[in-house]
Structure 1
Amino acid sequence: MAAAKMTKNQMRRAKKKEQKKTQAENGSKAPEETKDETPKEDGPVPDETTPVADLEVKKDDDADSKMDADGPVIDEIPLDDPAYADFKKAFEKYGMSLDDDEVVKEANAGNKGEVFFDQDDEIPSEDEDAQPKMSKKKRKKLNKLSIAELKALVRTPEVVEWNDVSSSDPRLLVQIKAQRNIVPVPGHWSLKREYLSSKRGIEKPPFKLPQFIAETGITEMRDAVLEKQAEQTLKQKQRERVQPKMGKLDIDYQKLYDAFFRHQTKPDLTRFGDVYYEGKEWEADYNIFKAGELSEGLREALGMQPGFPPPWLLQQQRVGPPPSYPTLKIPGLNAPSPQEPHGASSPANGGSPH
């Protein structure tokens, strides 16, 4: 069996022991000659127990490590090699050039800093060279368009809102908003308070049957049955639970048919594209109002007596009809009064009473 390989420390200790033995045998030798002469190289110390083959292998390893430290030896590629030409084309295709690397290396080698000696005036100050670094927020604010500029750039400036300029691509956003069948984002998205928080303290009205169902008379019949049940004694109520009577609410099927198939009305729903917002149900629907028509509620609010003209008719007779409604027919101005026949004079149409 081969002997176990000794470590460096073991070899040093063995060598020291041998030196001490030689000093004891040769007492006449000087102390300078008996100093520890450790080899300068990091390799193993030759010893009687160390085989010669191991020392040669160690020397080869040290030589390889020295070559690796100096750098790998790369064989020079001939320029006329077709593989070299293919690699060069691939680098140039992706924006990299071997010739440019050599030029950059030469430029970096020449651009060394200058050393200033005893010339304090020529030394540039740090305050002059150091430019104030702009923050990301200020840089974003400089590149941000104003609302007027955005409206001037797009084709549909009427859809531009104040928060559109903060988007990453304002022009694309405005173009999307101008397309057909686009539903806008609800306006409460930017509010900090909770949605529908204003309706928290408002009492909710009780449920009410639709008008076409109430006209069948089912509410009166149900109220009568409930009153009759309230008048019953405890014994009658117990008997009613055991033996309930059926057919208490007998409604004519013709009434039900008319209610659900003839007189049924659709509930008020928002149209496509209309967005609900808080308080929308309390706003008046101005689509039902028509110019020139006075409702009974408006006549009572104005204090108009029945058959009398509106208070603004005399002013319209002096000035003329409103310019916003050039084709509007106003009784007493450009149309006969509903109470008087054609050609008759009355205070409403400017005639003098007799």
Structure 2
Amino acid sequence: MSLPTLSVLDLVPVRSDQCSADAVAATLALARVADELGFHRYWLAEHHNMPAVAATSPPVLIGLVAGATQRMRVGSGGVMLPNHAPLVVAEQFALLEAAFPGRIDLGLGRAPGTDQVTAFALRHGGPAEEAAEAVTRFPEYVDNVVAMMNPAGVGLSVGGRSHAVRATPVATSTPDVWLLGSSDYSARLAAQQGLPYVFAHHFAGRGTAEALEIYRSSFQPSATLAEPRTFLTVNAVVAPTAEQAQQLALPNLLMMLALRTGQPLAAQLLVEEAEGVDLPPAHRDLLAAMQRHWVIGTPEQAKARLVELAERFEVDEIMVHPVAGAHLGAQADRSPGREATLRLLI
């Protein structure tokens, strides 16, 4: 059984026994494990004002992870572009690429990655129309980010004069730019612009095959990419036994259940806390439906599932989102279940 190339997605989860500093320390430990094991890339998400997620600033986390590792590509999965000025994103990632040449990925998404109140705060209290306009202008913003990171920069017309704008003074390389999405919108845009594309299978679960078909069938070659390039993302929990894997998956499943059903969000429960939660029958059914899209089991079961997914969706790389919880008494600045998931897949 030949496994696809494996990569890692990290949301920097915060457990009920952790503070933010612990969560970041655990992520750095997990990244070192991934680097030592030979995982190909390590991406960090952007989410705001969520009690169980500390991944609020991908560029900061990318700098920390890239500095703590030696060989992996490190990137964003992704930067939510409507939240930011394109030049700021271009400057951040051009600088990261200068510091870690050949190792930086810039994944761009169109969603806000947060609730409406926090989105309001992210745009300095500006009107809702500004946020809507940023989403509408997403294709233009993507073009601007790519152009500004180019060593030649772009010409910006102001007051009837053209001014050169570069993300960094003398670039010798540029990050790889990816488009991310959980609908077919980004699939169509990535195909149109000749960019690599990733569908959020770990979050959506459905629509993956349709989005990839749209991307592949309508792809237009570009100066940077001759053929469609994509991979799959999947939530994973791997343990020595299937029963242990199910136990470790429960805290994250409950967090996703709360998100899907509009319940108040809190820090991720420990396994023992999660086992004490009493769910109504309808929620148990939803929980069962969600985990059918996850990889949960023994090393042999998980590897077979990854191979099956790679074949079904015709990809040669899978980005694993290790979502194993922790038991009471676990070291606060480590995530033993998540580290074990990576170790048991190699």
TM-score (norm 2): 0.16
Q: Which has the higher contact order (CA 8 A, sep 6+)?
A: 2
Between Structure 1 and Structure 2, which shows a larger proportion of strand residues? 2
Rg comparison, structure with higher value? 1
